[in-house]
């Protein structure tokens, strides 16, 4: 069967890409002892694994495109609007065509493809308790393929970069300048191989998260990437700050994951499955999670009952699912669906460092810079956005609004803090939070494609910028403070100009009008951010109450341009501020700058064509049904979600707005830090209060301190007091009582019991002593005794018998 070959080929390619890093991890960890501390074997192994994974992913992507006759790229965006209804019929031929919701909206406009655009299946069933089925499922659609290719590519480049960056760990005696002990700096063996082992484990977990075909497995890998992040943030475990940051990241993620778990429970209880896609087993078809909730057109069937609004569950054809016993349609309370959506989004908030759990990400910069690039900007934190995208059909309009607001607040908050940050990595960290906020906003306002589009482009340019900052830190011998840099572009030109590519990309600067080959002259960020801003504008037009959802991102775009150019000018332009640092700065070696160049190419051109380009269309292929059409609120004042057509109409206006604001921000940065017409210090003094407020990160750490830490301390103190006075008092009294009882017992024991035993012993001893005389040890006497005894017994016996006879 060609179809089966197609499915298994895709699954095997991606599974290979997924499991190779695990093999690498196992070998690196368990065979670490044969490679000595100066060996780069572990690094080469890790690079081999992840690079092979990239090749597999790319092969899978091309194979998929080839087999589906590039249907995903051929469709026209205008076709989306009415595509939903048509494709549902086509997506279901073939036993494995479980493509109901994520199926090809674009492709459906044309002929029905011979091969389904999304495939799913099961590798292995772990356990099955009644209805609860935990399996290693896979689900492959265009989003999976795009994520796989992106993650493996970026991870490969970062692995290569890390070969050079972590070079100072290649020693038996590594001196950590950040840790002071009583004997000076801390000395410890290098941990080169361990770093790469962690990276491999992380790659495995991240790929598993993307490949997972059920939400339970997603949760498993969700936690695995969490623990990898913990390991990597705390890589310099001797540094107190690193330990605290690792703990903070882990605990903050736990808060979010709590919500995730609640969401999982609700889903399990009401839907009875964790699967994303439809599964046919023994002739019985179980619809996937999203299929149950929405008709193939993406509609939610609501039902008003006395106990409140409920949602009818449907099968893949849109017919209501019947309860096997009562033969009535299965329904789910609407409120519970909102709660489940909120819970799962809470997990995404934690993982993607969104407001109000955003504080861990800047602290996570304690980890080595390649980690920041891979884990804390490009992939792991993007997992939250990815999951939000995957669960999109699950989110009710209220949840979407919450997502939009969370993203909106986050992007503004983080952008403002980034303006005043001086540590080069922290600026990038806040920028990451801010950009993640954009993605969430995009998803929240209904621009599903735009949000994930930004996820991919951001991954490229943010990992590029982090690696550049890594190269700067490496070149400046672990100086991270921007005020000590300046003019570095003369010392490290490659780093400086690749960084500039990243900066322009994230700011969304472009030259829209003179087009080249019919394309605007623009880097990737321009396209993706434009799409989000356009969607936000349309949303604000449809729902005038929520105008803030457009204004804040717009202002945020300006701030982004400002702080990113501020960073670039601060670091690379102007005159050196610290001669010592400048003197010793040097360009990174080739193993580090080659990844920079490759990434800068991707950062510049991965989104070429914008919303008509291949990447966007590839992603849009997986768009849930119904998103393209948008949704009009049934009740006045309700939440309306814009469709593609409405957004497309606003695209030019929003693009111009965003470009103007971004240009303003960049110009302002140039004024302050490029030509220095204005002195930033004066502005800082004028707005000292605001500055301190921003420096203290909007006082979130203090707020959490007051809200959670202090009350816990106070309660703990009460508990201590109760413990000390009440419980200890009781315990002491009990102990004293026991002591008294024991004293009495001792007297009784010594006097009565021991006395009795001693008496018996003495008696026995005396008896024995008196009998001792008889024991002469003479054989003949013993014989005599025996004979005498026999006589005595015999005589007694005879007498007794005689007596009996007589009596």
Binding footprint of other proteins on the chain (CB under 8 A): 771-780, 783-784, 786-788, 790-791, 794-795, 798
* Residue (308 or 789) nearer to other proteins, CB: 789
Rounded to an integer, what distance in angstroms lies between the CA atom of residue 492 and that of residue 210? Answer: 37
* Residue (737 or 801) nearer to other proteins, CB: 801
* Residue (127 or 779) nearer to other proteins, CB: 779
Q: Could you tell me the smallest distance in angstroms from the CB atom of residue 795 to other proteins?
A: 6
C-alpha atoms less than 13 angstroms from C-alpha of 557 in its C-beta half-sphere: 33
Rg (CA), the chain: 37
H or E stretch at 132: strand 132-140
H or E stretch at 163: helix 142-165
* Residue (183 or 805) nearer to other proteins, CB: 805
- Looking at residue 574, what DSSP letter applies? S
Name the nearest CA neighbour of 553 among 422, 649, 440.
Answer: 440
* Residue (324 or 807) nearer to other proteins, CB: 807
* Residue (653 or 787) nearer to other proteins, CB: 787
Q: Could you tell me the smallest distance in angstroms from the CB atom of residue 804 to other proteins?
A: 14
Give ∠ CA 506-141-4 in degrees, rounded to 5. Answer: 155
Residue whose entry in the numeric block shows the structure tokens 């360009």: 587
Q: Could you tell me the smallest distance in angstroms from the CB atom of residue 790 to other proteins?
A: 7
Backbone angles phi, psi at 80, to 5 degrees: -65, -40
Q: Residue 431 in contact with residue 361, Cβ under 8 Å?
A: no
3-state SS, residue 646: helix
3-state SS, residue 585: coil
Q: Could you tell me the smallest distance in angstroms from the CB atom of residue 781 to other proteins?
A: 8
| Cis amide bond preceding 356, omega within 30 | yes
Rounded to an integer, what distance in angstroms lies between the CA atom of residue 80 and that of residue 103? Answer: 12
Rounded to an integer, what distance in angstroms lies between the CA atom of residue 585 and that of residue 461? Answer: 24
* Residue (326 or 770) nearer to other proteins, CB: 770
Q: Could you tell me the smallest distance in angstroms from the CB atom of residue 750 to other proteins?
A: 33
Name the nearest CA neighbour of 355 among 478, 441, 296, 459.
Answer: 441
Angle between helices 380-390 and 424-444 (to 10 degrees): 0
Q: Could you tell me the smallest distance in angstroms from the CB atom of residue 766 to other proteins?
A: 14
* Residue (635 or 779) nearer to other proteins, CB: 779
* Residue (128 or 776) nearer to other proteins, CB: 776
Q: Which residues pair with 303 in a beta bridge?
A: 310
* Residue (748 or 800) nearer to other proteins, CB: 800
Structure tokens belonging to residue 646? 């409405």
Q: Could you tell me the smallest distance in angstroms from the CB atom of residue 803 to other proteins?
A: 14
Exposure string of 702-736, with b = 16+ CB inside 10 Å and e = fewer, is eebeeeeeeeeeeeeeeeeeeeeeeeeeeeeeeee
Q: Could you tell me the smallest distance in angstroms from the CB atom of residue 775 to other proteins?
A: 3
Q: Residue 553 in contact with residue 657, Cβ under 8 Å?
A: no
Other CB atoms within 10 Å distance of the CB of residue 587? 17
Rounded to an integer, what distance in angstroms lies between the CA atom of residue 280 and that of residue 268? Answer: 19
Give ∠ CA 163-59-46 in degrees, rounded to 5. Answer: 20
Q: Could you tell me the smallest distance in angstroms from the CB atom of residue 740 to other proteins?
A: 49
* Residue (545 or 769) nearer to other proteins, CB: 769
Which residues have CB under 8 Å from 286's CB, separation 6+?
A: 273, 275, 278, 279, 280
Name the nearest CA neighbour of 131 among 302, 271, 232.
Answer: 271
Q: Could you tell me the smallest distance in angstroms from the CB atom of residue 733 to other proteins?
A: 58
Rounded to an integer, what distance in angstroms lies between the CA atom of residue 624 and that of residue 300? Answer: 13
Other CB atoms within 10 Å distance of the CB of residue 376? 29
Q: Could you tell me the smallest distance in angstroms from the CB atom of residue 773 to other proteins?
A: 7
Rounded to an integer, what distance in angstroms lies between the CA atom of residue 406 and that of residue 400? Answer: 10
Give ∠ CA 295-296-297 in degrees, rounded to 5. Answer: 85
Q: Could you tell me the smallest distance in angstroms from the CB atom of residue 802 to other proteins?
A: 9
Angle between helices 215-233 and 192-211 (to 10 degrees): 160
* Residue (308 or 794) nearer to other proteins, CB: 794
* Residue (44 or 765) nearer to other proteins, CB: 765
Q: Could you tell me the smallest distance in angstroms from the CB atom of residue 800 to other proteins?
A: 14
Name the nearest CA neighbour of 444 among 639, 665, 689, 205.
Answer: 639
Q: Could you tell me the smallest distance in angstroms from the CB atom of residue 772 to other proteins?
A: 4
Q: Could you tell me the smallest distance in angstroms from the CB atom of residue 765 to other proteins?
A: 13
* Residue (686 or 781) nearer to other proteins, CB: 781
Other CB atoms within 10 Å distance of the CB of residue 763? 10
Q: Residue 486 in contact with residue 576, Cβ under 8 Å?
A: yes
Q: Could you tell me the smallest distance in angstroms from the CB atom of residue 798 to other proteins?
A: 7
Which residues have CB under 8 Å from 483's CB, separation 6+?
A: 422, 570, 577
Exposure string of 324-340, with b = 16+ CB inside 10 Å and e = fewer, is eeeeebbbbbbebbbbb
* Residue (483 or 794) nearer to other proteins, CB: 794
* Residue (722 or 798) nearer to other proteins, CB: 798
Q: Could you tell me the smallest distance in angstroms from the CB atom of residue 805 to other proteins?
A: 11
Q: Residue 291 in contact with residue 272, Cβ under 8 Å?
A: no
Rounded to an integer, what distance in angstroms lies between the CA atom of residue 636 and that of residue 260? Answer: 32
* Residue (322 or 799) nearer to other proteins, CB: 799
Q: Could you tell me the smallest distance in angstroms from the CB atom of residue 787 to other proteins?
A: 5
* Residue (62 or 791) nearer to other proteins, CB: 791
């Amino acid at each position: 069967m060609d179809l089966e070959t197609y499915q298994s080929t895709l699954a095997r390619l991606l599974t290979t890409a997924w499991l190779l890093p695990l093999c690498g991890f196992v070998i690196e960890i368990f065979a670490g002892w044969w490679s000595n501390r100066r060996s780069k074997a572990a690094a080469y192994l890790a690079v081999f694994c992840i690079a092979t994974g990239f090749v597999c992913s790319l092969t899978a992507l091309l194979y998929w495109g080839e087999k589906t006759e590039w249907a995903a790229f051929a469709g026209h965006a205008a076709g989306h609007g009415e595509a939903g209804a048509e494709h549902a019929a086509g997506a279901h031929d073939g036993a494995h065509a479980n493509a109901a919701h994520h199926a090809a909206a674009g492709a459906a406009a044309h002929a029905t493809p011979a091969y389904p655009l999304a495939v799913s299946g099961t590798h292995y069933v772990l356990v099955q308790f009644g209805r609860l089925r935990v399996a290693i499922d896979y689900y492959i659609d265009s989003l999976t393929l795009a994520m796989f290719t992106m993650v493996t590519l970026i991870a490969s480049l970062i692995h290569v970069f890390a070969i050079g960056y972590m070079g100072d760990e290649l020693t038996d005696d590594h001196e950590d300048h950040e840790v002071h002990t009583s004997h000076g700096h801390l000395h410890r063996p290098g941990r080169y191989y361990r770093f790469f082992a962690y990276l491999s484990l992380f790659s495995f977990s991240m790929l598993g998260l993307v490949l997972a075909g059920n939400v339970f497995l997603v949760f498993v890998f969700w936690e695995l990437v969490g623990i990898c992040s913990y390991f990597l943030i705390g890589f310099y475990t001797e540094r107190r700050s690193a330990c605290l940051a690792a703990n903070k990241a882990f605990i903050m993620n736990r808060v979010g994951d709590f919500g995730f778990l609640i969401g999982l429970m609700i889903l399990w209880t009401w839907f009875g499955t964790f699967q994303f896609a439809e599964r046919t087993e023994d002739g019985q078809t179980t619809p996937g999670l999203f299929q149950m909730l929405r008709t193939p057109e993406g509609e939610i069937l609501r039902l008003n009952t006395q106990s409140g609004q409920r949602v009818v569950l449907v099968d893949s054809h849109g017919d209501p699912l019947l309860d096997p016993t009562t033969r009535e349609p299965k329904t789910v309370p609407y409120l519970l669906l909102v709660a489940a959506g909120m819970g799962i989004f809470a997990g995404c908030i934690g993982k993607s460092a969104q407001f109000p759990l955003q504080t861990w990400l800047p602290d996570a910069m304690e980890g080595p810079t390649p980690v920041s690039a891979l884990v804390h900007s490009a992939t792991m934190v993007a997992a939250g956005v990815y999951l939000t995208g995957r669960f999109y059909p699950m989110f009710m309009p209220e949840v979407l609004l919450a997502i939009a607001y969370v993203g909106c607040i986050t992007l503004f908050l983080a952008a403002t803090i980034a303006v005043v940050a001086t540590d080069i990595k922290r600026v990038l960290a806040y920028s990451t939070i801010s950009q993640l906020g954009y993605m969430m906003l995009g998803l929240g306002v209904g621009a599903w494609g735009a949000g994930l589009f930004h996820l991919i482009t951001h991954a490229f340019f943010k990992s590029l910028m982090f690696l550049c900052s890594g190269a700067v830190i490496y070149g400046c011998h672990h100086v991270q403070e921007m005020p000590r840099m300046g003019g570095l572009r003369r010392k490290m030109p490659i780093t400086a100009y690749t960084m500039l590519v990243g900066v322009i990309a994230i700011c969304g600067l472009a030259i829209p009008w003179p087009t080249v080959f019919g394309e605007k002259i623009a880097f990737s960020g321009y396209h993706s951010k434009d799409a989000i801003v356009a969607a936000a504008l349309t949303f604000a037009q449809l729902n005038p109450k929520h105008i803030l959802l457009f204004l804040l991102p717009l202002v945020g775009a300006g701030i982004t341009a400002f702080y990113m150019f501020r960073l670039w000018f601060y670091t690379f332009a102007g005159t050196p501020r610290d001669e010592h640092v400048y003197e010793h700065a040097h360009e990174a070696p080739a193993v580090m700058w080659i990844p920079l160049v490759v990434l800068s190419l991707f950062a510049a051109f991965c989104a070429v064509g914008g919303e008509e380009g291949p990447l966007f269309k590839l992603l849009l292929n997986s768009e849930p049904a119904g998103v393209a059409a948008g949704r009009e609120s049934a009740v006045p004042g309700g939440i309306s979600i814009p469709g593609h057509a409405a957004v497309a109409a606003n695209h030019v206006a929003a693009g111009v707005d965003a470009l103007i604001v971004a240009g303003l921000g960049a110009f302002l940065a140039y004024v302050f830090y490029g030509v220095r017409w204005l002195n930033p210090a004066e502005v800082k003094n004028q707005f000292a209060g605001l500055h301190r407020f921003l420096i203290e990160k909007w006082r979130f750490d203090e707020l959490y301190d007051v809200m959670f830490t202090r009350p816990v301390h106070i309660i703990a103190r009460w508990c201590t007091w109760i413990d000390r006075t009440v419980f200890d008092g009781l315990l002491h009294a009990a102990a004293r009582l026991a002591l008294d009882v024991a004293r009495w017992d001792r007297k009784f024991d010594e006097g009565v019991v021991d006395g009795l035993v001693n008496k018996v012993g003495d008696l026995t001893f005396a008896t024995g002593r008196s009998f001792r005389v008889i024991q002469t040890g003479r054989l003949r006497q013993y014989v005599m005794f025996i004979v005498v005894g026999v006589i005595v017994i015999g005589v007694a016996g005879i007498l007794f018998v005689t007596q009996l006879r007589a009596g």
